[in-house]
Amino acid sequence: MTDRYAVIGNPISHSKSPQIHMVFAQQTDQDIQYEALLAPLDGFQSTVNVFRQQGGSGMNITVPFKQEACQLATGLTKRARIAGAVNTFKFDNDRILGDNTDGAGLVRDIAVNLNISVTDKRILLMGAGGAARGVILPLLQQQPAGLVIANRTPHKAQLLRQQFAEFGPVNARDYMELSGECFDIIINATSASLSDALPELPSGMFTRSTLAYDMMYSTEPTRFLNYAAQQGAQQLADGTGMLVEQAAESFYLWRGIRPETQNIIANLKKPEA
């Protein structure tokens, strides 16, 4: 019997998750169907319920529903509970298990695929929404020199600082308070790239050795990555690798098999992909 899975979000037409998971299924000889579901901004729960009633086995959750998904889950993994955000559902009878594979995907992409150590590095994380929440703990577990959270609403960044302070050296700033500072790794966890916008970063924050990482993925460099390059950064990465790695983590949760990721990352990054 074919098991059904889906990714749910708004917008969703850009999602590569169906393509990725079907490659995983072929690679591991798993009988699944995977689709993309557009949920109304006020209709996340009802869309999830309909999919479950139709026999769905699990879901990936993307912008802007990761925190709402945390509330809907009837059980949470430790990393999802600490993050307060969920990007993966596993349905088991009446139970909805919520997990968050974003952080594991990000760290694996940086440390393994890009071969850049996070340990002892100064990291700037831009954004304080569900995408940022999911990666803070895994980043702190790599023992960076420090992690600064910046957000256009400083209060939200301060709340995250308080929430994660026990796990490592974390601080919170307004964007303009960052003037004159440099970082080893700057991660854009905002949704600005979806609308070709740029967070209000002061100039002078990038060095030649800074890794500029945009968690959004695109066939062309995002505005953030173009800005980083103009500011002198020579190490640029979009979220393609993170997308595939977090998907592999979700696939493992659902199917108990960990797929190979390198070939699909390379294929997705080709211009014709």
Q: Do residues 45 and 110 both lie within one domain?
A: no
Cβ contacts of 138 within 8 Å, gap of 6 or more:
79, 103, 104, 106, 107
Structure token pair of residue 211? 């890794």
Q: Any idea what the CATH number is for the domain that residue 26 is in?
A: 3.40.50.10860
- pLDDT bin (cut points 50, 70, 90) of residue 272 is low
**pLDDT at residue 218 in the model:** 81
pLDDT over 50 at 273, yes or no: no
**pLDDT at residue 32 in the model:** 98
For residue 135, CA distances in Å to 6, 131, 246 come to 22, 7, 11
Q: Do residues 122 and 96 both lie within one domain?
A: no
Distance of alpha carbon 82 from alpha carbon 79, whole angstroms? 5
Cβ contacts of 102 within 8 Å, gap of 6 or more:
85, 87, 131, 134, 135, 242, 246
What count of other Cβ atoms lies within 10 Å of the Cβ of residue 226? 14
Q: Any idea what the CATH number is for the domain that residue 192 is in?
A: 3.40.50.720
Q: Do residues 233 and 250 both lie within one domain?
A: no
Average pLDDT over residues 88-104: 96
Which structural domain, as residue segments, surrounds residue 79? 3-100+243-269
Q: Do residues 95 and 143 both lie within one domain?
A: no
The dihedrals phi and psi of 241, each to the nearest 5 degrees, come to -65, -40
**pLDDT at residue 270 in the model:** 83
**pLDDT at residue 197 in the model:** 72
Buried b (16+ CB within 10 A) or exposed e, 235-257: bbbbbbbbbbbbbbbbbbbbbee
Express as a percent the part of the chain with pLDDT over 90: 85
- pLDDT bin (cut points 50, 70, 90) of residue 217 is confident
pLDDT over 50 at 48, yes or no: yes
> Considering only CA atoms, which of 109, 103, 108, 61 is closest in space to residue 82?
103
Q: What is the pTM of this model?
A: 0.93
Strand bridging mode 56-61 / 88-92: antiparallel
Average pLDDT over residues 2-29: 96
Where in the sequence numbering do the catalytic residues fall?
66
Cβ contacts of 226 within 8 Å, gap of 6 or more:
none
**pLDDT at residue 14 in the model:** 86
